Amino acid sequence: MKMHKMSKFATPIAVLVLILLSCGEKEKIVEVPIKTDCPPAVPRGVFAYNLDGYVQICWYPNTDEDIDGYDVWYGEEAYGDYFYIGTVWAVFPDPNEYCFNDTTGNGNQYYYAVSAFDKSGNESDLSFEIVSGTPRPEGLLTLYEYTYLPAESGYDFSTLSNTAQRFDLATSDIYFAADEGSNEITAFRPGVDIQDYGFVGDFDVINYAPEEGWSAKRSAEAIYGHVYILRLDNTPSGYHFAKLYVTEVTVNFVTFLWAYQTDPGNRDLAPAPDGGSDGRSIVLNEALMRGEKVKVHKGYRVGRQFPPSFGEGNMETDHDLQ
């Protein structure tokens, strides 16, 4: 099994050789061609999308002319051993990001890195960004106003379903109410907090649950295009975090996309638009939202082969990855 040791510091070394010949009082510089065989530059701009059941790792293309492809790696710690999970071949010219899907399962957090290799088999060091991913389930749900259709006005996120329920103080995390002219998403059972994160225009823009800012009245007005963050105390496992993105709202119902982090205490919900305080390097790209991905392979945690850059075969033929 191919393995990388991720270190906190990487020191590139360049050597320049000059030859100066002296012949009596005359001097001349003789240029001697020296063949260099250096590895490609380290891939840059690596980031991860947390999706339902898998993580999508993306990065910018290298500018090296003889680049042949990229190897993708995962580890259980930010600084430690990284294990090979797949190869993405270079396609030129290609101004878009390259991406790779790793099917890890919801609630499993791993760290990711990418290396580049050229046609001579030289491989770069691992990418420098500290990138982690934790897939989480998501869905689309409609809640009806609790006096209009009480049987479908509440929701328990731990069910991970798209089925509303009658709001129940013992189980329902939230319910929908139209009181005094305001359409409210209300935190219902004890231990649930909510906050309006504002209009962002995209479900995946908000990636990380905040530590403060929860509504004192434990409710927030449902507004089209707004994202809401929930903190749910699911004793004994501890706090879980969720987010909502309102796609439609009337006095009778509210419809929203939801994502729920099954890993207790993990605030990771989706990608952020800038590298933020969570230390992740994230770049949002409209092409990715449209599903325009280049040579995407699925990663597996068993039965790996060494990548083609090490002469051990082709991932597309060694495994059924299509």
Contact predicate 174/190, CB 8 Å: no
Tokens standing for 264? 């207790």
pLDDT in tens, 122-164: 999 999 888 888 888 889 999 999 999 999 999 999 999 999 9
The stretch 170-189 carries a mean pLDDT of 92
- Listed in sequence order, the residues at least 6 apart from 189 whose beta carbon sits closer than 8 Å to its beta carbon are 168, 169, 170, 171, 172, 173
- Cα distance between residue 166 and residue 177, in whole Å: 13
pLDDT the model gives residue 294: 25
Report DSSP state, residue 151: G
Q: Is the pLDDT of residue 173 over 50?
A: yes
Q: Check residue 26 and give its pLDDT.
A: 57
Residues contacting residue 190 through CB under 8 Å, at least 6 positions apart? 233
Read off the pLDDT of residues 271-312 as tens digits, 9 standing for 90 and up: 333 333 222 222 223 323 333 322 222 232 222 222 222 222
Instruction: Give the pLDDT confidence score for residue 286 in this predicted structure.
Output: 33
Task: Identify which has the larger pLDDT, 204 or 288.
Answer: 204
CB count in 10 Å sphere of residue 271: 25
Task: Give the domains, in start order, of the chain with CATH numbers.
Answer: 40-135+281-318 (2.60.40.10), 138-260 (no CATH)
How far, in Å, CA of 253 to CA of 11, rounded? 58
**Number of residues in the chain:** 322
Strand order in the sheet with 55-59: 47-50, 55-59, 98-102, 298-299
Give the pLDDT score at 297. Answer: 26
Bigger pLDDT: 244 vs 282? 244
pLDDT of residue 154: 96
User: H or E segment at 175?
Assistant: strand 174-179
pLDDT over 90 for what percent of the chain?
39
How large is the average pLDDT for residues 10-22?
46
Please state the separation of Cα 19 from the chain's center in Å. 50
Asked if 21 and 28 count as a contact pair (C-beta separation under 8 A), the reply is yes
* Per-residue pLDDT at 253 exceeds 60: yes
What percentage of the chain carries pLDDT values higher than 70?
71
Tell me which of 175 and 315 has the higher pLDDT: 175
Residue 190 vs residues 62, 146, 199, 306: alpha-carbon distances, Å: 51, 18, 27, 51
DSSP category for residue 234: E
Give residue 304's pLDDT. 29
Cβ contact 216:200 at 8 Å: no
Largest alpha-carbon pair distance within the chain?
104
| Mean per-residue pLDDT over the chain, rounded | 75
Q: Which of 169, 112, 175, 113 is nearest to 141 (CA)?
A: 175
pLDDT for 50-60, tens place per residue?
888 888 899 99
pLDDT band at 251 (very low <50, low <70, confident <90, very high): very high
Mean pLDDT on 252-280: 68
User: Which of 9-13, 14-18, 221-225, 274-278 is predicted most confidently?
Assistant: 221-225
Give the span between the Cα atoms of 94 and 104, in whole angstroms: 28
- More confidently predicted of 81 and 30: 81
pTM, full prediction: 0.61
Sorting pLDDT into bands at 50, 70 and 90, what band is 71?
very high
